[in-house]
């Protein structure tokens, strides 16, 4: 396309930008670090709550199959991410990939989308972490003043001091360096995975075979909704989902899919990886495989400990242990969830700052934010700015209704990356690809279809909010980014060496 809106940035130029001293990030991550990052951000409270909730409401013991289906859908997107992250090892993830294939305006749109997704995700997780800490403090007989507690359901002035403090502390860790962040993440992920494994092993001793009958309960039709809080597909086609039965497995898969969100953030660290061509595919696919195995194991345990129809909705795994006469596991699970959420929050913040940094380096956002710290070699300016903003948002805003925006933003990124793989294969077949997505274009097309299907199952009001955010982004692009980008100013038109 010849329109300035669809001007693309050469892959070679993107890679060369990473070598500019003032804008170069330090390469310190290994495949193990990337895998730990992926596991750290994927495994959150969902593994302790979502497994039992979906089993009771949607699929019964067959929720284990729903996790497999959701894992396969994520694997389709992960294969596309792996090719791009190893071919274009530049910070920015889907934003950078689309800039090299779709053009500047699509790249801006996906970058704007990722900024919202990661920022809102960080705030939501920080508020969730605060809730667990409040619960643990109450169990110990300590209570914070009401004005400094959670904002959900609060009346009058209130500020969630714990959520804001968590974001600010993690911001400081990210400024001090990626290797320190990786070490902190490794310790926390080790604790989190240990808690999950203890729950799986201990719960296995309380499994009763009779609780698995029937493994696939009889289908129960559900009436289609008509309001904005109903899935978009229901409003458009009048289609009503089914709970339980074979179709209930797919209904459950659309719900548990969101427990996998986060593996794509591994791609934002491509520029800080020592050997991205080898380690990015290993980190992305390895973390996804580990988390799928843990999800399936937990779902088998919880439905074996207690019949699916008797599971609680709020804390199914903890209450299942209570039902077997072991209530102390409830506190143990809460501890594991609280510890685990710290890494989820940090890695989401990491992903957002890298996308913001990449957009700034390209001139789509002020170049002031693209200079790295002279000692730590981290993008300290956007990290501090975004950390403070998110801390304020997490402290003042009850975010339960906005959490769905994180999901639609991630799925939109999946669609863009899959399409970009097809386009770049055609436009730049000469590029060296150390990892190649198999069965192109069939597999990327399948990934697009699966992601769109899950997007259609999100509430219509989520689509409305997402559309408003995208409209604001387009206005910002035409008022500032279109004329300030380095491509528009001709700064990236110098000759580049041929692809390897």
DSSP 395-426: HH---GGGTHHHHHHHHHHHHHHHHHHHHHHH
Q: Measured between alpha carbons, how far is 83 from 423 in angstroms, rounded to an integer?
A: 13
Say yes or no to pLDDT of 37 above 80: yes
Say yes or no to pLDDT of 236 above 60: yes
Say yes or no to pLDDT of 247 above 80: yes
User: How does the average pLDDT of the chain come out, rounded?
Assistant: 85
Say yes or no to pLDDT of 495 above 50: no
Of 382 and 183, which is predicted with more confidence? 382
Rounded average pLDDT over 270-292: 91
Predicted pLDDT at 225: 67
Say yes or no to pLDDT of 318 above 90: no
Predicted pLDDT at 146: 66
Closest by alpha carbon to 25, among 433, 263, 380, 267? 380
Among 94-103, 220-229, 255-264, top mean pLDDT goes to 94-103
Tens digits of residue pLDDT in 452-468: 988 888 888 889 989 99
The CATH number of 4-484, from 1.20.1740.10, 3.40.50.720, 3.40.50.300, 1.10.3730.10, is 1.20.1740.10
- DSSP annotation of 238 reads -
Predicted pLDDT at 400: 53
Q: Measured between alpha carbons, how far is 114 from 473 in angstroms, rounded to an integer?
A: 11
Of 149 and 362, which is predicted with more confidence? 362
Rounded average pLDDT over 444-450: 94
Predicted pLDDT at 497: 45
Q: Measured between alpha carbons, how far is 446 from 425 in angstroms, rounded to an integer?
A: 17
Rounded average pLDDT over 78-87: 91
Predicted pLDDT at 108: 95
Predicted pLDDT at 233: 82
How long a stretch of residues is the chain? 500
Tens digits of residue pLDDT in 330-379: 778 878 878 888 888 988 898 889 999 999 999 999 999 998 888 888 99
Q: E strand or H helix at 115, and its extent?
A: helix 104-139
Say yes or no to pLDDT of 151 above 50: yes
Model-level pTM?
0.86
pLDDT band at 434 (very low <50, low <70, confident <90, very high): confident
Closest by alpha carbon to 473, among 174, 96, 115? 115
Q: What angle do CA 194, 293, 129 make, to 5 degrees?
A: 50
Rounded average pLDDT over 32-52: 84
What are the boundaries of each domain within the chain?
Answer: 4-484
């Amino acid at each position: 396309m010849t329109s300035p809106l669809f001007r693309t940035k050469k892959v070679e130029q993107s890679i060369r930008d990473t070598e500019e001293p003032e804008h170069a990030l330090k390469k310190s991550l290994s495949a193990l670090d990337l895998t730990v990052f992926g596991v750290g951000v994927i495994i959150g409270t969902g593994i302790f709550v979502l497994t039992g909730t979906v089993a009771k409401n949607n699929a019964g013991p067959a929720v284990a199959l729903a996790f497999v289906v959701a894992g396969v859908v994520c694997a389709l997107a992960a294969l596309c991410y792996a090719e791009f992250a190893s071919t274009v090892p530049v910070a920015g993830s889907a934003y950078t990939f689309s800039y090299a294939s779709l053009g500047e305006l699509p790249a801006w749109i996906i970058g704007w989308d990722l900024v919202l997704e990661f920022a809102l995700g960080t705030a939501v997780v920080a508020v969730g972490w605060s809730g667990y800490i409040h619960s643990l403090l109450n169990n110990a007989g300590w209570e914070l003043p009401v004005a400094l507690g959670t904002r959900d359901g609060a009346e009058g002035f209130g500020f969630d001091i714990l959520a804001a403090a968590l974001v600010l502390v993690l911001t400081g860790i990210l400024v001090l360096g990626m290797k320190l962040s990786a070490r902190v993440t490794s310790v926390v992920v080790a604790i989190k995975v240990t808690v999950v494994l203890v729950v799986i092993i201990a719960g296995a001793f309380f499994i009763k075979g009779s609780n698995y009958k029937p493994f696939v309960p009889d289908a129960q039709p559900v009436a289609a909704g008509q309001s904005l809080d109903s899935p978009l597909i229901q409003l458009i086609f009048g289609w009503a989902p089914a709970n339980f039965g074979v179709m209930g497995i797919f209904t459950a898969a659309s719900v548990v899919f969101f427990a996998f969100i986060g593996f794509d953030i591994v791609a934002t660290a491509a520029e800080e990886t020592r050997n991205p061509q080898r380690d990015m595919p290993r980190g992305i696919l390895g973390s996804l495989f580990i988390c799928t195995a843990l999800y399936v194991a937990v779902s088998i345990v919880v439905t074996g400990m207690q019949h699916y129809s008797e599971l609680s909705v709020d804390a199914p795994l903890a209450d299942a242990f209570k039902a077997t006469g072991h209530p102390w596991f409830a506190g143990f699970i809460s501890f594991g969830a609280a510890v685990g959420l710290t890494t989820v929050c940090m890695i989401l913040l990491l992903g957002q700052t890298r996308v913001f940094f990449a957009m700034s380096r390209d001139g789509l956002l002020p170049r002031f934010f693209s200079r790295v710290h002279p000692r730590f070699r981290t993008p300290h300016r956007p990290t501090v700015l975004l950390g403070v903003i998110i801390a304020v948002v997490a402290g003042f805003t009850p975010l339960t209704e906005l959490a769905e925006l994180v999901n639609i933003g991630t799925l939109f990124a999946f669609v863009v990356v899959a399409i970009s793989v097809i386009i770049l294969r055609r436009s730049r077949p000469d590029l060296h690809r150390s990892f190649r997505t198999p069965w192109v274009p069939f597999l990327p097309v399948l990934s697009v279809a699966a992601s769109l299907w899950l997007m259609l199952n999100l509430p219509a009001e989520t689509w409305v909010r997402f559309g408003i955010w995208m409209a604001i982004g387009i206005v910002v692009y035409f008022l500032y980014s279109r004329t300030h980008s380095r491509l528009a100013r001709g700064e990236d038109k110098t000759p580049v060496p041929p692809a390897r």
